[in-house]
Amino acid sequence: MKGGKLMMAAGAVMLGVMIGILYMNYTAAEHMNEDEARAIITERYQGDIRNVSLAGDDEHFVVSVDDDEYLYEITINRAEGTVVDIESAENPEYEPDDAVGEEQESEEGSSGAEPGTSEDNAGLIPVKEAREIAMEEVGGLFLHSTLNTDTNPSEYLIANLVDDDDEAAIVSINAVNGTINKVIFLEIEFDEIGDLETFMRQVAQSNAQNQNYYIEYDDWDDDWDDD
């Protein structure tokens, strides 16, 4: 009898060990690895990845990103593959290059103008200043900026990711005096947007007649599919 009980106990222990191993293997298979976390950041955000570390709970990756002017810490849920938190801070090592800023501003201005036309951008605020204004207004993670010269006065459109994985804000800024025209909040599906700049311009145009300062925009998917 004792031998039988010992065998049953040993069998139960072995079964428990096997179940534990299977569970650990299943969990590991379901969780993304570091390369997959890097791919998400590279695909969705600008800037250089400084470091990828595993959080203490082993359930999240914390990715440090250097976007020159700002430093970000982006937390990714390994099981779901989603961004759950973004923290930003000014980069103390950042040294602005006025020449580069002016060149970028000129390029963005020419890309926003109609073919065959030109516009003197000397009276416009630098794109760097527009980005800072947008960051102070909505925070989050910078995605993209463009100068729209189809409006009068011209406007900067600054897109920031402001909450977790899919909530963005497009900030329209008067390119002459730096005042904010409006802030458009929307859910953004990165997998369905091929050209972020074109998308930003379309959303801004769709809300051109809206006089509200804060706008919740939820019709972009239908409009985007129609193009």
Contact 60, 75 (CB under 8 A): yes
Type and span of the H or E element at 223: helix 220-226
User: What is the token pair recorded at 190?
Assistant: 């990165």
Nearest-10 crossing angle of helices 98-112, 127-138: 90
pTM of the model: 0.60
Backbone angles phi, psi at 163, to 5 degrees: -155, 120
Tens digit of each residue's pLDDT (9 = 90 or more) over 174-223? 999 999 999 999 887 765 676 788 889 999 998 988 889 999 887 655 54
Provide the pLDDT for residue 109. 46
DSSP letter, residue 140: S
Tens digit of each residue's pLDDT (9 = 90 or more) over 33-88? 999 889 888 877 778 999 999 888 889 999 999 988 888 888 888 988 888 887 87
CA distance 45 to 40: 8
In sequence order, the β-bridge partners of residue 73 are: 64, 87
User: What is the token pair recorded at 45?
Assistant: 């955000």
Tens digit of each residue's pLDDT (9 = 90 or more) over 126-159? 999 999 999 999 988 888 899 999 999 999 999 9
Q: Cα 34 vs. chain centroid, distance in angstroms? A: 18
Domains annotated on the chain, with CATH: 34-90 (3.10.450.40), 98-226 (3.10.450.40)
